[in-house]
Structures are given as structure tokens and as C-alpha cells.
Amino acid sequence: MWTIALNRLDEMKFFGADRSAQKIEMLKHIPIFHELTRKEILEVDELLHERIYEKNEIIFEEGDPGHGIFIVVSGKLRADPGHNLLKNAVLDFGPGELVGELSLFDEAPRTAKVVAIERTVTVALFQAEFSSLLLKNKSIGVKVLVEIARTLSRRARQLLLQEKHAPSL
């Protein structure tokens, strides 16, 4: 009980109004942000929405209209894709991995159901806010876009070669 309370306190501290060095470090360890400078991370942080999902909680379901991406900070998410092409894919997403990246470019329906398989902390980036970031700060936009494109191409390549991979959702 006490452990849970302390964990919650840590999370509250982590997501508090003051931007601690710990938080910047944490964001910097996320692959799509690791090219960003400290100042740029602070700017991106303004757009990120922190979400905590309990074990077995649904993040989104197949067919839901997608409005943004989720980045796992801690914990683990599992995808349950309905499409046969994705049956061979690695279905678990751990810290630093992206989920729902296809929705960052259009509002197409989600291609899989994603559930938290343990208590998971995520940060979400909304499509409209990401678009405004691309306009406001091209430098950040390019760095983040390159990382997302890298993830997408890696997953597409693995899909083409029928390797085990994390699916693009």
C-alpha cells in the first residue's frame, strides 16, 4: 500500500508543474526525442499529455478514430491486431516505444487494440498540436519526424521481410 502511495507521489512529482532535470532526462531517453536539446525538450514537453494506465486498461481499440501517438515512458503495452499481416509482429511495446504513430499523419481508424499489460505511464502527442509544432519550430519538427520515419521504415522493412517486429498502428 505504502509502496503504491510512494509510487504515485513520485509520479506526481515527475509530472508536476516544475520541470525537473529528472523529467528532462527521462524524455531525453525516449528515442524520438533524444536528438533534441534541453531547450527543445522543454518546448515539446508543453505539448505532451501524461497518461497513466492501469493493468488491463484499454488505450485504444481497433477502428477508433486516431488523433495522436502514445509514447511509453514506463510499463508495457500489448497490441492485439486484427489484420493477418500483423499476426507475426512483436506485440509488446516497452519504454521509449511508439504506439499509434500512423495517426500522427491522418485521422485514419486504429489498426489494432492496445491494452496496458502492467501499470504504464505514457506521454501522448496530439496530431493538431504536432502540426502546430511543425510550423512553429521546424528544427524540432524535423528531428522528431526523422525519428518517427525511422521507426516506421524499420517496422515496414521488418514487415516486408516477414521478421518479428513491432507493428505500426
Measured from the CB of residue 1, what is the shortest distance to another protein in angstroms?
A: 8
Cα(111)–Cα(57) distance, integer angstroms: 18
Instruction: Check binding of 67 to another protein (CB under 8 A).
Output: yes
28: exposed, middle or buried (Cβ count in 10 Å: 0-12, 13-18, 19+): middle
Are 75 and 137 contacting, i.e. CB atoms less than 8 angstroms apart?
no
Cα dihedral 147, 53, 64, 166, rounded to 10, equals 40
Contact positions with another protein (CB under 8 A) in 128-157: 128, 132, 135-137
Contact positions with another protein (CB under 8 A) in 39-58: 39, 43, 46-47, 49-51, 53-58
Alpha carbon 32 to its chain's center? 9
Measured from the CB of residue 54, what is the shortest distance to another protein in angstroms?
A: 5
Contact positions with another protein (CB under 8 A) in 75-114: 107
Binding residues for another protein, per CB under 8 A?
1, 4, 39, 43, 46-47, 49-51, 53-61, 64-68, 107, 119, 124, 126, 128, 132, 135-137
